[in-house]
Structure 1
Amino acid sequence: MLASQSNWIFTYKDQIEKKSQLEDLSLSSVVKELLMQRGLKTKEDAEKFLYPALDQLHDPALFHQIEIAKKRIEQAIEDGESILVYGDYDADGVTSTTLMVEALREKGAMCDYYIPNRFTEGYGPNEAAFREAYKQGFQLIITVDNGIAGVGEVKVANELGMDVIITDHHEVQEELPEALAIIHPKCAEDYPFKELAGVGVAFKFATYLLGYFPKQFLDLVVIGTIADLVPLHDENRVLVHFGLKALSSTDRAGLKALKKQCSLDGHVTEEDIGFRIGPRLNAVGRLQDANMAVDLLLTNDPDEAGELAEYVQELNTERQKVVATIAEEAIAEIEQQDGSDHYVLVVAKEGWNPGVLGIVASKLVQTYCRPAIVLAIDPETQSAKGSARSIDGFDLFTSCMQHKSLFTHFGGHAQAAGMTLPVDNVSVLRDELDALAKEQLTEDDFKPQLRIDAAIDLQDVDLSVIGELNHLAPFGMGNPKPAFHITAKPAEIRQIGATKNHLKIKFAQDGIQLDAIGFGLGDKYTKLSKDTAIEAVVELQENEWNGIRKPQLFLKDLAVKEWQLFDYRGAKQWQQQLDQTLANQYILAFHDKEKETNDVIGPEQFDTIEQEIEALYLVDLPQSLEDLSDLLKGKQINRIYACFQLNDGYFFQKIPSREEFKWLYQLILKRKYFDYKTDAPKLASHKGWKLEKVKFMFQVFHELGFLTREGATIVPTESPEKKDLTESPIYQKAVKQMEVEETLYYSTYQQLKQWIGEQLHAASKPEEEMVYGF
């Protein structure tokens, strides 16, 4: 057996209406089922999903205060007023800022932008920045990707005589700012889609403001939308679909330079944004002032763009090092707290860079599968500032809002949040969230949730199906890559990579073989037997090598539901298979000479074990099959490693036949004596027997009382008691040992697995009979 790393949720086992209007679509049954699972049960809905079109976007006029905002901007332009775009320091914020500045400038406005410093000002509006804007002559402030929580700051702006237009998408809190206009999907009852990113809201506003569809901004929209992890359905799906095309062929100097740093050429995918472009733009605001990221996106000068992109690359490299260091220190802090006892992890320390704590929190969630809050302590202000990430079963925003009084500043979503609070409140926050989580979460919640869309056979995996699946892209939040469940035996298992930390399996099923790659799963190599079926959750992908295209499986998780046998019989280095991380593995030896260390236990100790055994190593042969059989009965063992060694065995020597025993005894009776030292070698040579065989036969005769010794001579006993050969303990031991060797050492893998399986299963039969009564 091998447990999965995640909780597998078989969504395809839910009740799905089999009759649908998708039958007319020329798609495989696999893809049709996936469409139905995504709630697309009509041909019209499916075609909209598969073939996004710009006319699927909603009318921005449905934001009920958008006309007020537009008129105020037009008035500002007419009166020559200065407009300040107040943005944010992450990828969504800098793309929103760039987009709004370009839209205003195209409209003819005098405008500038401001990105608050993550370290000195924090997220969202702040009073000092608004007062400074007033001093510099700005009459209108437009927030992008922030502002919905700036109640006090907007009040200050109003008192100074400045108007504020808020464009945002973050969670709405109890009180709304008294802004001139709020453009927010969740504040607009008539707007049908509530999950736009900040850049998506800015784009809708720009569309309404300019009076046409500004395709030139789509390359910005796709970056912010994917980087901010909003659900990729409805409008977001359309914007990302066309945004990826726009980004792939963008003429924007800054993005071209950034793509070069990312080694991107040609078609850009959502993964390229999520793992390359997005992190680099985020790195600027995480380590210093994010204005440089906006400068990069706004510049038309290729030389300036190249220099800025190169510096962004350097910052990203530095960011990676900082994250690794803080993550290591945070894990050490958690271990000191005995993190396994806490449902919510809260760590705080002086000297940590607040800009990267969201990434560190994500790493802690991946490591411990618990909600995590990571805070940097400022000793001067005695405040703690940082970020939080959560797991699927715990709504971080709602839970923190129940204790809002603990925070100086707080905002975010169900799965991610940012916060500032007094140092004295950190332990209180840990206790309060821990109590809430204990009420809400179960043990299953502490494993990642892995949703499985369909079961598939290897014979159904081909390039045409993979091509159809690509029509479901772009993938991301709300539209994950389809995950499939397969069950097949591995024809080959290998560790790959420079450090052997990846896994490659060649699955075989009904004559079909298919390669599967599992990154980071190399440690499973010693826990998988080639002769046992593996259940795996996979994604389907295309692999091209030397011009040859073929389907391939990408392993997300795997499990083995039955016990496994690993055959290391005769291998001298079986100790290398020991997993030092396991607490419930045992090395069993039947003979004292094998019990040279405290790690090895004997039959008496093993017999007392009642809990489930993860791994059992059998290092020597028992004296009888019954000795091993009795120990295996009643035990729950996931993996058994047969590491038997054999030096002097009986199996290939064979026990002498009765006729051979009879012939030798009659010879001695006839001769009346036998000088073993002189006659035994001659007898062995004459009969073609080994000397050990002759010795064994004489030992049996002596034990049965058929022969006796007179000095150096062996003579027959007068009138011996009639006995059968099987009454000799030496003969019995030899027969049993030969049976042991034949069954446990010289048997085939399948024969050995069948025998051990029968012993493990034998204990359950009486229990079943007792429970069911028949």
Structure 2
Amino acid sequence: MKEGLTLFSSKYDWEIRPNKASSEQIKSLASDLGISQLVAQLLINRGFQDPDEIKHFLSPDTSDLNDPFLFNDMDKAIERIESAIAENEKITIYGDYDADGITSTSIIYETLLEIGANVTYYIPNRFKDGYGPNADVYKQLIADGTKLIITVDNGVSGYDAVEVANQLDCDVIITDHHELPDKLPNAYAIIHADLSPNYPFKELSGAGIAFKVATALSDEIPQEKLDLAAIGTIADLVSLTKENRALVQFGLNVIHLTERPGLKRLVKRNQVKIENIDEEDIGFKIAPSLNALGRMGDASQGVELLTTTDDQIADDLAKQTEKQNEERKTLVADLTEKATEIAESPENTKRNTLVINGRGWHTGILGIVASRLTDKFNKPTIVIGEDPETGIAKGSGRSISGFDLFQALHDSTDLMDAFGGHEMAIGLTIQSNNISQLADNLEQVATSQDIDCTKKPQLKLDYEVSADDINNDLYDDLALLSPFGTDNEKPAFAIKPNLLGSITIIGKTKEHLKFDIIGKNSKVGAIDFGAGQDATEIRELDRNLKVAGTIGKNEFRGRTNLQVMVSDLEVAGSVILDKRTNNLVAQMFEEDGQYLFFNPKLMDKLSRYLNANSEAQLASDFVAKNDYKKLFVVDCPPSLIDLKNVIKESNNSQITLYLFKPHLISNYGMPKREQYAKLFKFIKFHNNVSLRKHLKSISNELKINQNLLVFMIKVFNELGFVTINDGMMNTVASPQKQSLSSAVVYQRRLQEIEIENQLINLNQNALINLINEMQD
């Protein structure tokens, strides 16, 4: 760590969730259900009390899937679809370009094909058609012979498009789960949970709604569509509770049996073993690959990929999907770098909000970039891509907790051509010349609300554990609560290691950090994505960091090991820096802080080197002061207890140990009995010895180190065996018999050797451990 380096800081404010359960409740529930007390406590803390409800949560069954005909208009919709099939009317499924929309479309498309429908599908293009129903597209579909349009994962915002369809004698059935508008479309039927008072679960994804329609059409649970329902549900980040949890659990149970060649190849290209696939593989690999299609261009090939039965077509489409996803990753990385540079400009650094725009920026990835900037700077952020030819710009925004971005832009709608979203995320279309005014308006709203962008976002953790608590038994206990997701987050832990070891930078651009969390008896691997730039500081603080993260498994070269996925790192206690020295120089006193001395003469001599923002204090007068983050222990204490009294009292976030001692007497130790005998015999026959002149020759003659010899003479002098006047040593006739160890100078040397062995001669790890123990 460089001198004066800013202390490492966590990204979040950590909060351990309060325990809502009594020990009696925990024991009772654990006993009744045959689960560990940890799992029982987690369930209670997450709002579960009823054993029967918990049984269904841990092991869903088909009774957790609600009757699809409880949906309002489901009867009407099914009747119309069956009529279209009987009359061989052309049906077009109008989907959406994200993973939820692609899987929703695939579910309904396959179902209708299987029951003999004349069916096709249309996935709108993000750049050409925009989101949701497009009236011009509807006109074209109807002109091509469509008599019934079924929307999936969209539709409730398409009032105008439905009016066009009605005028052209085409019925529209809407299946959607998005927020209802003030004015509903005049559709033939609308299947939406919020319009269905009898339907008990309101959190289905687009794929979940599509699955319910498929169930109603098939008059049974379509087992072979569970894989798609699970992917769509996970991808759309809906609540993973109740019916959604059942759908995902069932889908994960059967996905390894899928007969979809496209899905098999997509899974393989994402380096996932289909027999072990879980919700994280889908959420972080499969879903982003499908989403990349819509972000980069035409998402309709996603439906073909998931529904084709041709192995060669499946292989070609999987390759194309992987290529699109890799291009998406590269674009995101490049644009994030450009946007970050703009965000770090002096002007933007002063702002509470960020509106970052650029010419020709790919509009399909703006939401991802906005999200990354929001995470990095903790500011509401809008990223806008301008079309230099048309002057039209499109943007996506992401917010921080406590700031409603949708409402903040409500009074600026006159500046925008299109605008939508919710509290945490928005999308907009705007003329380039209005961007500056929009940015100023947003900043004014943020300023008026007095948002504090310097305040760290909160990280909620379930437990605090030691590194030794992390083992396979804990992992297996936690796995009972999976699949994890929204409203059933993966349990997160604050972990206090003894040490972080094997700290390594990894990744193509060295952007990630890999290390071991080491306890007293065991260690576990950990990975911290995006923390590569902190490697130097983390190595310096390897004994002073707590780790926040979740527990998973990592397979490498055929071996599977536990691994902590790191969310954050936090300094625990004071940072101890070992700067022990036998030579003090002026540069060691340049930093602001408290400089602690045990030797008053040394303090008087060195105080003049301190700057105006520092203070010298004697250990005997030490008072902890909040004004100083750093404490410098300048010289070596006379005893360990003297140092402990200071360390225990201190509240400094950094303690630097100089422990200055110019000469180590422990290098010479204590004289042996025969050496004392030699000196005693020498002084018995020599008087008027000038120590100034003859000390070296006496040392040579007696073959006793000069340092030891001086000490021995001091002991003899104190005990009255010799007298020393003006540097002349003389023997004392018939001295009083006394133990050598009774001399004060003898005891003082023993104490000096002891403190040197306790502080100066320790290795760095042992020294830091000792100081940490003093703080407890």
TM-score, structure 2 as length reference: 0.78
Quote the offset at 1:255 in angstroms. 1.0
1:89 aligns with 2:97: yes
Amino acid at match of 1:300: T
1:644-683, aligned counterparts within 5 Å?
648-650=663-665, 652=667, 674=690, 679-683=694-698
Match of 2:179 in 1: 171
Q: Deviations over 1:613-656 (max 9, x none)?
A: 666676x7479999999998996422324356766445545799
1:190 aligns with 2:208: no
Match of 2:498 in 1: 490
Q: Deviations over 1:110-147 (max 9, x none)?
A: 22221221122221122321222233232322221112
Q: Given the superposition, is the C-alpha separation of residues 306 and 7 from structure 1 closer, same or farther in structure 2, using an over 3 Å criterion?
A: same
Q: Which runs of 5+ in 1 are unaligned?
A: 573-577, 592-599, 717-730, 762-774
Q: Is residue 525–residue 562 contact of structure 2 (8 Å, CA) maintained in 1?
A: no
- Rounded to whole Å, the distance in 1 between the matches of 2:333 and 2:769 is 48
Q: Is residue 467–residue 518 contact of structure 2 (8 Å, CA) maintained in 1?
A: no
1:112 aligns with 2:120: yes
Candidates 618, 632, 637, aligned match of 2:652: 637
Amino acid at match of 2:539: T
1:8 aligns with 2:17: no
Quote the offset at 1:272 in angstroms. 1.2
Q: Is residue 612–residue 635 contact of structure 1 (8 Å, CA) maintained in 2?
A: no
Match of 1:474 in 2: 483
Candidates 506, 520, 540, aligned match of 2:518: 506
Quote the offset at 1:330 in angstroms. 0.7
Candidates 347, 352, 359, aligned match of 1:350: 359
Q: Given the superposition, is the C-alpha separation of residues 562 and 398 from structure 1 closer, same or farther in structure 2, using an over 3 Å criterion?
A: same
Match of 1:126 in 2: 134
Candidates 367, 374, 384, aligned match of 2:383: 374
- Rounded to whole Å, the distance in 1 between the matches of 2:252 and 2:581 is 58
SS of 2:276's equivalent in the other structure is coil
1:252-291, aligned counterparts within 5 Å?
252-263=260-271, 264-291=273-300
Candidates 306, 312, 332, aligned match of 1:303: 312
Q: Given the superposition, is the C-alpha separation of residues 628 and 384 from structure 1 closer, same or farther in structure 2, using an over 3 Å criterion?
A: farther
1:71 aligns with 2:79: yes
Match of 1:727 in 2: none
Candidates 433, 448, 459, aligned match of 1:450: 459
1:46 aligns with 2:54: yes
Q: Is residue 195–residue 230 contact of structure 1 (8 Å, CA) maintained in 2?
A: yes
Q: Given the superposition, is the C-alpha separation of residues 647 and 231 from structure 1 closer, same or farther in structure 2, using an over 3 Å criterion?
A: same
1:319 aligns with 2:328: yes
- Rounded to whole Å, the distance in 2 between the matches of 1:571 and 1:131 is 87
Match of 1:685 in 2: 700
- Rounded to whole Å, the distance in 1 between the matches of 2:219 and 2:267 is 31
SS of 1:481's equivalent in the other structure is coil
Amino acid at match of 1:476: G
- Rounded to whole Å, the distance in 1 between the matches of 2:288 and 2:765 is 51
Match of 1:726 in 2: none
Q: Given the superposition, is the C-alpha separation of residues 543 and 333 from structure 1 closer, same or farther in structure 2, using an over 3 Å criterion?
A: closer
Q: Given the superposition, is the C-alpha separation of residues 485 and 741 from structure 1 closer, same or farther in structure 2, using an over 3 Å criterion?
A: closer
Amino acid at match of 1:265: I
SS of 2:394's equivalent in the other structure is strand
Amino acid at match of 2:201: F
Amino acid at match of 2:15: I
1:562 aligns with 2:562: no
- Rounded to whole Å, the distance in 2 between the matches of 1:736 and 1:455 is 41
Q: Is residue 394–residue 441 contact of structure 1 (8 Å, CA) maintained in 2?
A: no
- Rounded to whole Å, the distance in 1 between the matches of 2:254 and 2:648 is 66
Q: Is residue 296–residue 364 contact of structure 2 (8 Å, CA) maintained in 1?
A: yes
Match of 1:575 in 2: none
Q: Given the superposition, is the C-alpha separation of residues 370 and 70 from structure 1 closer, same or farther in structure 2, using an over 3 Å criterion?
A: same
1:217 aligns with 2:225: yes
SS of 2:430's equivalent in the other structure is strand
- Rounded to whole Å, the distance in 1 between the matches of 2:316 and 2:554 is 36
Name the stretch that deviates more: 386-395 or 293-302. 386-395
1:361 aligns with 2:370: yes
Q: Deviations over 1:589-626 (max 9, x none)?
A: 999xxxxxxxx9747653299766666676x7479999
Match of 2:621 in 1: none
- Rounded to whole Å, the distance in 2 between the matches of 1:755 and 1:483 is 30
Q: Given the superposition, is the C-alpha separation of residues 675 and 176 from structure 1 closer, same or farther in structure 2, using an over 3 Å criterion?
A: closer
- Rounded to whole Å, the distance in 2 between the matches of 1:391 and 1:16 is 34
Q: Deviations over 1:545-597 (max 9, x none)?
A: 9999886655544545422434454699xxxxx9xxxx989999999xxxxxx
Number of aligned pairs? Answer: 716
Quote the offset at 1:55 in angstroms. 1.9
TM-score, structure 1 as length reference: 0.78
Q: Which runs of 5+ in 2 are unaligned?
A: 1-6, 600-607, 617-623, 716-722, 731-745
Amino acid at match of 1:262: N
SS of 2:382's equivalent in the other structure is strand
Q: Deviations over 1:330-388 (max 9, x none)?
A: 10111115545444332111121111122212222332233332211123332321323
SS of 1:95's equivalent in the other structure is helix
Q: Given the superposition, is the C-alpha separation of residues 637 and 253 from structure 1 closer, same or farther in structure 2, using an over 3 Å criterion?
A: same
